[in-house]
Chain A
Amino acid sequence: MVTTRFKARAILSKIAISLAAVCILANAQDTYDTIYNDVGSLPCVRLLNATGSIGCQSMDAASGVLYRADTVEDIKQFANNNELGNKYTVVIPYWLLSSSNIDLLKSSNKLAAILAVVNGTDTAHAAASRPTTITSPDTTCPNCDFGLYANTPNRYQWNPTGSGLLFEQFDFPIYALNTMDNRNIMSYNSVMQAANRNRDKGYRDYPLKSLQFHSFMWGAQDTGACLRKGWCTPVGGASVWSTPSNNISYTDEKPIVIVAAAIDSRSLFHDITLGVESSVAGMVTVLAVAEALSRSTIPLDTMPKHIVYTLFTGEAWGFSGSQRFVQDIMSSPIQCEKAPTSGSGCAFPFYSDLEFQRLNPAKIEAILEVGQIAGMSVAGGEPILYAHVDNIQEAASTMLLNQVVQVGANGSVTAPASTAGIAVLAASSDGVKRGLPPSSSMAFLKSRGNIPTVVLTDYQKQMSALTNHDEDDSWNTPNAVNLIQKAASVISTTAWLQAQGVSDAAAMTPEQTQAIASIQVDAKLIQDLLGCLSLNYSCPLVDRYLNVTASNTPPTRLPHYSGTLYSQSQPFPIFVWSFLANMTSVKSTTSPSQRVTGCSSQSATVQCGPKEYCVGDQCVVSLTRYHDAFGVGIGMNANGQYYIKDASKPVWTESTWDPIGLRMFDVTSPGSQVAELMTGIVLTIVSSCVIWYSRRFLKKTLKED
């Protein structure tokens, strides 16, 4: 009896083992590949501030049958179609992504997720189909709560068409599709192919193609709560400042002229943030100014005033970069309690660099800033540059404003002929004093309101509708180059005159006349910079500095979202740093001799001096520094943890997340899914019964033996 039972057990265990072996042998990856098709993902993610969260979050893995809606009518039809008996991933053109349409989709109770096509090859998604009236997804006054007029009642609304979409909260995934590179073109094509097949089947003839989304964000509530739990990281990165005055010191009593712009931008989908209008053109302008001024026959570091270039990161997030820079230079000298174990800076309070203490904020005598300047808001008509000044302490800026306007009018001095048609007007030339548009200068003016400040933009009353828009990807290059060239020419000349302390061109010495003629803005450089910093980072200009093409996958279009602090590479600040380091060290009395070359290509033989940097294969001496940029409301304690120091100031953070992605698979009809489940349950019950009865039977039979 015992032997028979053993035999029966042995046979059973053998069957079990062979079944398990079959399961293991069937490659898990192969099975995955036959079921799923991973699609490149451009997600909308969750961000948090002092009072709440914005962006997208889905607690579980949402999945829905692909459904194509090309027009508002399609969306309405989807919402009202009671024959659709499933959850759906609705593919819509980006321009239909508005609060009202999203509410309509949600009200159907059939919405699993939204795929917004920013740019696609299908006629419904092509650039040609874009509506003529575009609304900015930002608020009606971007970042104004943190600006100079935060507490001013009835402050001017610079972005009146702003829909505020960026600040809404969505409890389902929203992803973008954009045909910007091969990988994304493949994703777009496979999604559209599947959506079209579903449509051809009338969304009824199962199996249909379905998409599953993973978009689980850890951070919740607000920045305070998520920082405490460690589920979010401050939004930010590195600002860059640079000066040709290598010997600048806090106590040298020389006034400072600041030339400023922003590096970063924002949009709903961070991976495709471009911001040519919002920030790239301004950044290019400042770089072109630095290049033009480096040609001055009078060395810049011998001038009566210092010129300091500042390019701020985190500006799209409550002017985080400029406010932190101003806060830091205002608090020098820094009392460093704990020195770093290696390198420069201070371990606590944390500063990655302390050279900014050489800038004396009380000595800042002029600020020239470049805002939106790519001319993308100008539909037809003559492009004009507008010079904005603060309207509270207006008198302080009057002289600087007049100088900018005058330099703009006397185009013949330095401005190239191609920009002759571009006028430079005071923004208040229509008699309305609107004050400064949202700008980095506000941070300086908040600390001291009487600094002469001019912000140059391509708009007078209203920011571009493409402000922080995801579809700001079609600019007119010749127009943009002309505007940037004009702006760079005006800013460089004004900065030069300011630095020389010359108010009237007539009073200049022959040497000065010769020097001012030497600062010419290079249109080719502007065109190259615009191309490199928008769509092709692996261009020869960037490559000369950073050798990017040596990489296996040379980067092309990189996102202009600042990213999170210390956790991502900062391609644009890195390039800006290299470029400015090169430009500010060109004609300097401290490095008159020929530069040593070969420091990066033959690093074994060529070593740079102790205070030199290897920039573009040359050893240069330059005072160019990174500056940490993140919301000034956030502090870092001695253990390196972030906390909210002042909730009234910007405290933007980005949530941490589980691996994000979307994958496509075939889904059977809800009816057959129920049938499958039922079959499974019945099979389980039947097999249980069979086992129970056979065991009883075996027991009986074996006992009888």
Chain B
Amino acid sequence: MPKPIEKMGADEILASSKKLFFGGFCLLPMLWVYNIFYVWPVRNRSDLSPQVRHYMLLSGILSIVLFIVFAAWFGIFVNQRLDWGTTGDLLTVVLVKGV
């Protein structure tokens, strides 16, 4: 049973947060979202290193930026893929019949 974050020491929280933040760069952006939710309950602890808040903030910014990028791409893809011809077909995993 892993230790709940409330019972972790400040250095352990920093280590976890750091791992989650850098892990996100390995094409795992959901780790950034997780990072925020994970550290959120202890964000106001006085003994916490300020670096933790940095990692949270950066994770948050990257999550939002990526969300916008993905949402924009999704919108463009859904509306334009039929016009892209062969390229559109290549980018589509499941071709939708009848449209």
Q: Which residues of A line the B interface, CB within 8 A? A: 57, 59, 216-221, 224-225, 228-229, 231
Contact = CB atoms under 8 A, between A and B. Distances in A.
A219 B96 CA distance: 10
B85 interface: yes
A613 to B, nearest CB: 43
B89 interface: yes
B95 A229 contact: yes
8 contacts: A59-B98, A218-B97, A219-B98, A220-B97, A220-B99, A221-B99, A228-B85, A231-B97
10 residue pairs, one from A and one from B, having the closest CB atoms: A218-B97, A220-B99, A220-B98, A229-B95, A59-B98, A218-B98, A217-B98, A216-B98, A221-B82, A228-B89
Interface residues of B, number: 8
B98 A229 contact: no
B96 to A, nearest CB: 9
B79 interface: no
Contacts of A231: 97
B86 interface: yes
Contacts of A218: 97-98
A74 B35 CA distance: 67
Contacts of B97: 216, 218, 220, 231
A225 B98 CA distance: 11
Nearest to A59: B98
A125 B82 CA distance: 43
Nearest to A57: B98
Contacts of B82: 221, 225
Interface in B42-99: 82, 85-86, 89, 95, 97-99
A231 B97 CA distance: 8
Contacts of A224: 85
B86 A228 contact: yes
Contacts of A220: 97-99
Nearest to B97: A218
Given A219-B98, A224-B85, A228-B86, 4 more contacts: A216-B98, A218-B97, A221-B82, A228-B85
Which residue among A216, A218, A224 has the maximum number of chain B CB atoms within 10 Å of its CB? Answer: A218
Given A217-B98, A218-B98, A220-B99, A229 B89 contact: yes
Contacts of A217: 98
Nearest to A60: B98
A59 B96 CA distance: 11
A562 to B, nearest CB: 24
Contacts of B86: 228
A219 B82 CA distance: 12
Which residue among B86, B89, B97 has the maximum number of chain A CB atoms within 10 Å of its CB? Answer: B97
A216 B97 CA distance: 9
Contacts of A216: 97-98
Nearest to A656: B97
A563 B33 CA distance: 56
A206 to B, nearest CB: 32
Nearest to B96: A220
Contacts of B95: 229
Contacts of B98: 57, 59, 216-220
A76 B85 CA distance: 42
A57 B89 CA distance: 22
B1 to A, nearest CB: 27
Contacts of A221: 82, 99
Contacts of A228: 85-86, 89
Nearest to A655: B98
A231 to B, nearest CB: 7
Which residue among A216, A217, A220 has the maximum number of chain B CB atoms within 10 Å of its CB? Answer: A220
A415 B82 CA distance: 60
B82 to A, nearest CB: 6
Contacts of A59: 98-99
A109 B10 CA distance: 65
Which residue among B86, B98, B99 has the maximum number of chain A CB atoms within 10 Å of its CB? Answer: B98
Contacts of A229: 89, 95
A231 B85 CA distance: 14
Contacts of B89: 228-229
Contacts of B99: 59, 220-221
Nearest to B88: A225
A217 B82 CA distance: 17
